[in-house]
Amino acid sequence: MADAQALDEVVDFTSDLIRIDTTNRGGGDCRERPAAEYAAERLAAAGLEPMLLERTPGRTNVVARIEGTDPSADALLVHGHLDVVPARAEDWSVHPFSGEVRDGVVWGRGAVDMKNMDAMILAVVRAWARQGVRPRRDLVIAFTADEEASAEDGAGFLAERHAELFEGCTEGIGESGAFTFHDGTGREIYPIAAGERGTAWLRLSARGRAGHGSRVNRENAVTRLAAAVARIGAHEWPVRLTPTVRAALTELAALYGIETDLRDVDALLDKLGPAARLVEATLRNSANPTMFEAGYKINVIPGEAVAHVDGRCLPGGEEEFRTTLDELTGPDVDWEFEHREVALQAPADSPTFAAMRAAVEAFAPEGHVVPYCMAGGTDAKQFSRLGITGYGFSPLKLPEDFDYHHLFHGVDERVPVEALHFGVRVLDRFLRTV
């Protein structure tokens, strides 16, 4: 069991890490090294030998291994990222990099995404060092850079250049799972991620005939691109049920006493009420236009226009995605992948998933654990290149007024102290028993 010091440290570590500004603005504009050094110092104080690894100066990753008691057992990867998305201080109630603890809540960018989990890992590892605890399986601890952009300086670099550090790892746990979802009827649901949609960020370009804005122009690049973007935004993607989403729907239907009819998913979602939010974003591929670049003067028709689209693909859905984009863009608009990562699936009936379920239920007996698929992606994509099956498991027990998903990348990001205590206890139990 995690000791009292671990419960104090997880709050201190979360607050300290938030105060270290690791804003990732993309394009290489980030410096994780101070946070990496902070984590490495605390791992070293627990008797480990952390390695600081960089592809680019300042973009630092930390990796350490804890030797297990069973040398025949497969190793487990436990990972969290150190970078955060930008935050504008003028929009926040509390400065986003203050790490302030107020009224039992830790405030700041990274409080849920995901310096809280980084702090939990550090707190558990240090508690084990004090107690002389060793896990059954080898644990590889990794704190990564660059997750909020391309991961090229983080998990991608580690998987490509330092695969030997992850020798024996067959499974891993990372962000976004085992948090409290309140359905509005008093039920507490704890979704554990057993899948992720793939990333398909696109660049669309249209060429046309440049000219004067007062003249008729049937080859207007802006018009061509705008029409394609409108078609993409309005497209209704068909439902495609993956094994993870099927399992989620089946378990949710059983929880609510609803007959499971996966032939009519829309009707089933209506019956699930608010709980439908756990699956509705992962029923199909998606493509959302997000950026538009064209022109340089109001009376000049430009010869080129560019747009960007955030696409996401279900496991097995990339061929359909490509074919559909070809149809929607048409003959006058070209498209290409600007950033692309694989979709993931993990078995929801594995011993590891069962251990996660048991750990949550031990400290939230009133809760209901279900598998789910993440709409976005994590570093698990890069680590999958090493044959590591990834789960989302960053346990938090949240009150009803905390909307976990809206706090991700949102204003006034924060996490209750009690949620961090719950996370340490659950993570400690899971890592001891898995």
Which residues are designated catalytic? 83, 147
Contacts of 164 (CB under 8 A, 6+ apart): none
Please list the alpha-helical segments (H only) found in 184-283: 221-234, 243-255, 265-272
Q: Give the E-state strand segments of 101-233 in sequence order.
A: 101-102, 105-107, 139-144, 169-174, 181-182, 188-196, 198-207, 211-212
* DSSP string computed for 67-92: --S-TTSPEEEEEEE--B----GGG-
Buried b (16+ CB within 10 A) or exposed e, 222-261: bbbbbbbbeebeeeebeebbbbbbebbbebbbeebeeeee
Q: How far is it, in rounded angstroms, from Cα 112 to Cα 393?
A: 12
| Residue type, position 427, single letter | L
Smallest CA-to-CA distance from 77 within 163, 201, 19, 4 is with 163
Record the tokens describing residue 216, joined without a space. Answer: 């008729």
DSSP designation for 239: P
| Residue type, position 216, single letter | V
DSSP designation for 58: T
Paired strand residues for 325: none
Paired strand residues for 23: 84
Which residue pairs, CB below 8 angstroms and at least 24 apart, start in 153-157?
153/28, 153/54, 153/55, 153/56, 153/59, 153/61, 154/59, 154/61, 154/81, 154/83, 154/379, 154/382, 155/79, 155/81, 155/379, 155/381, 155/382, 155/383, 156/382, 157/53, 157/55, 157/61
Record the tokens describing residue 169, joined without a space. Answer: 């790892």
Record the tokens describing residue 107, joined without a space. Answer: 């405030």
Helix (H) / strand (E) containing 305: strand 304-313
Altogether, the residues listed in the chain come to a count of 434
